[in-house]
Amino acid sequence: MTASTAGTAGSDRTTIVEADSVTKTFTTPDGRALPVLDDISLHLDQGEIVALLGKSGSGKSTLLRCLAGLIAPSSGTVAYRGTPLTAANPGVAMVFQSFALLPWLTVQQNVELSLQARGVAEQEGRERALKAIDLIGLDGFEGAYPKELSGGMRQRVGFARALVVEPDALFMDEPFSALDVLTAENLRSELVGLWEGHEAPVKSILIVTHNIEEAVLLADRILVLSSNPGRIRSELTVDLPRPRDRRTPQFEALVDTVYGILTGREESTAATAAPGRPPLTPTTVPLPRASVGGLAGLLQILLAMGGEEGLAEIADELNFEVDDLLPLVDAAVLLGLATTADGRLAVTGAGREFSAADILTSKQLFARAAAKRAPLVRAIVQALAATDDHELREDFFLDLLRRGFDLADARLQLETAIAWGRYGELYDYDADDAEFVLEPGAEAAL
């Protein structure tokens, strides 16, 4: 099934945006190629909401920018209504995670700015801006400045600024992730209401998210991306009436299905790769953003539930969303303390031993698991052991990580590695000197 016909058999729907074999590779500061997207083909049709769902490193925001014409693919093509893009996509407006408002402009002026860039006359621009502001529920705040607004109200301005140009496609990049839970839920519901009531002046919507329930709540189709580099792992049709109820068995079953796809591992996370496969490295197997305490707590809860349970059920028990558990789940699986299959999490024998151990023994068990199965932790121990004084500055590891991450993500990787290494007493980190120091006997954990 090709990108141009997928999901449209027997339908006369118009394709708004289409990607054909899009690959994107960036160049790191040391000149190395960093593949972010690999051979992605997809289509966005008139009358549908599509969600791009993936973890960090799946390249979903990069893909969105390629489709918007903000960055060019390294190979492959992006087309708007059948015409290949050579500049910004003229049929697309975007809403970002950060509100991206100009603080010196009022709400109305921020909204009018989109129209000024398109050469709309002043009087028409004013009328359209006021209509968009009213549509998204900010009537009365036209003269307010961003600093006077709550986060939810500022994001409403972002929606108004995008909708005022009446785009063919509304692109949204994690638009609710910077908001509190209740505000995000309210905005999602209002967006669905505008879409179902045909009040929103858009023909299609593409949303980037890492939130499984958000994707199932909003989308007609979900494209699940794998990571490093991003590829389309699976496409699912969401055939549920709107508004959608999280508590129905159909909704929960679809969430479980998506979770199973999202957490499916394409290669073993053991420290030694399978024969014929490239070795696993700190850039191909990133450390999840999970604390040891959080990991231990998840295992204890799972054991109290019998040692195996569905992720959706665990999330409900803890009053979290499934997505909140993903880093902890990924850490447990990476370290061999748990396994996942079909949306269920099960404690392994190693996980039971770790949970039952006293503090000293649990540190030793964690140290062995991290040194053997977490590539970055292993690399730090090996590098420190290879030096005469068993010390290395953090810049050494940052430079290595920059081959696969930007600087911010490289630092986040090191922060997690520092916490894991300290707990396992594999190495210490001197923040004043920005230096790693090997702990005595740490090599024995390798």
Share of the chain above pLDDT 90, in %: 45
d(Cα 49, Cα 208) in Å, to the nearest integer? Answer: 11
Reply yes or no on whether the pLDDT at 207 is more than 90: yes
pLDDT for the residue 138? 85
**Residue 269: both structure tokens together:** 């996370």
d(Cα 312, Cα 367) in Å, to the nearest integer? Answer: 30
Which segments of the chain belong to CATH 1.10.10.10? 292-354
pLDDT, tens digit, 9 for 90 and up, residues 10-53: 345 799 999 999 999 887 666 677 788 999 999 999 999 999 99
Average pLDDT over the chain reads: 85
Contact 291, 420 (CB under 8 A): no
Which segments of the chain belong to CATH 3.40.50.300? 15-262
pLDDT for the residue 139? 86
Contacts of 191 (CB under 8 A, 6+ apart): 159, 200, 218
Reply yes or no on whether the pLDDT at 75 is more than 90: yes
Residues forming beta bridges with residue 13, ordered by sequence position: none
Reply yes or no on whether the pLDDT at 382 is more than 70: yes
Give the containing element (helix H, strand E) for 61: helix 60-67
Give the least confident one: 154-163, 251-260, 388-397: 251-260
Contact 295, 345 (CB under 8 A): no
Contacts of 35 (CB under 8 A, 6+ apart): 23, 24, 25, 229
Q: What is the CATH number of domain 15-262?
A: 3.40.50.300
Instruction: Could you please state the CATH topology (level 3) that the domain comprising 292-354 is classified under.
Output: Arc Repressor Mutant, subunit A (1.10.10)
pLDDT for the residue 29? 63
Segment 253-269 mean pLDDT: 68
Give the containing element (helix H, strand E) for 204: strand 204-209
The more confidently predicted of residues 261 and 350 is 350
Q: Is 315 helix (H, G, I), strand (E, B) or coil?
A: helix
* CA angle, residues 210, 216, 217, in degrees to nearest 5: 105
Q: What is the pTM of this model?
A: 0.70
- Among 190-199, 270-279, 318-327, top mean pLDDT goes to 190-199
Contact 314, 302 (CB under 8 A): yes
Give the containing element (helix H, strand E) for 393: strand 391-393
Reply yes or no on whether the pLDDT at 396 is more than 70: yes
Q: What is the DSSP letter of 230?
A: B
- Per this entry, what is the length of the chain? 446
Reply yes or no on whether the pLDDT at 165 is more than 60: yes
Reading across the β-sheet that carries 435-438, which strands appear in turn? Answer: 391-393, 435-438, 427-430
